[in-house]
């Protein structure tokens, strides 16, 4: 059983450059989430997809950030004109929503650690 995978695991970039991260969720999962974790903090919700539709974006997600899930499978998160404050761990998670009440367990990938110099 393949878990959530993320690529790359590490990225170092210079301020002002664009970066793109990829997430491959667990294959049968229809929901995909992006979170950001900075040092000493817990993960913070950024956005989520139900299949290919992006249904919510956090106010943390400035207009320099864009996420896609074009075919309802893998997702990409792009950050344009990176700033030093974007340095963080970017985590992807997926879950299976059956439209029932109750919490859905979100399974996380290993994360992409971004360092903006």
Partner 1 sequence: DQQVKQNSPSLSVQEGRISILNCDYTNSMFDYFLWYKKYPAEGPTFLISISSIKDKNEDGRFTVFLNKSAKHLSLHIVPSQPGDSAVYFCAASGDGGSNYKLTFGKGTLLTVNP
Q: Is 105 among the residues that bind partner 1 (CB under 8 A)?
A: yes
- Return the structure tokens found at 115: 């360092």
Q: Is 33 among the residues that bind partner 1 (CB under 8 A)?
A: yes
Give the separation between CA 56 and CA 35, rounded to whole angstroms.
12
Return contacts of 96-102, CB within 8 angstroms, 24+ apart: 96/26, 96/28, 96/29, 96/30, 96/31, 97/30, 97/31, 97/50
Give the separation between CA 50 and CA 94, rounded to whole angstroms.
10
Of the candidates 75, 82, 94, 106, which one interacts with partner 1 according to CB under 8 A? 106
Of the candidates 27, 42, 53, 59, which one interacts with partner 1 according to CB under 8 A? 42
Give the separation between CA 95 and CA 107, rounded to whole angstroms.
6
Touching partner 1, residues 44-103 (CB under 8 A): 44-45, 48, 56, 91, 93, 95, 97, 101-103
User: At its nearest, how many Å lie between partner 1 and the CB of residue 65?
Assistant: 17
User: At its nearest, how many Å lie between partner 1 and the CB of residue 68?
Assistant: 18
Residues near partner 1 (CB under 8 A): 4, 6, 31, 33, 35, 40-45, 48, 56, 91, 93, 95, 97, 101-111
């Amino acid at each position: 059983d393949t878990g959530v995978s993320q690529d790359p695991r590490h990225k170092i970039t210079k301020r002002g450059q664009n970066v793109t991260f990829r997430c491959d969720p667990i294959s049968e999962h229809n929901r995909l989430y992006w979170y950001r974790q900075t040092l000493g903090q817990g993960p913070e919700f950024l956005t989520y997809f139900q299949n290919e539709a992006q249904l919510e974006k956090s106010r943390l997600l400035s207009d320099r950030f864009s996420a896609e899930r074009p075919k309802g499978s893998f997702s990409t998160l792009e950050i344009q004109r990176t700033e030093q404050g974007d340095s963080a761990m970017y985590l992807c998670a997926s879950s299976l929503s059956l439209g029932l009440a109750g919490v859905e367990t979100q399974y996380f990938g290993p994360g992409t650690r971004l360092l903006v110099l």
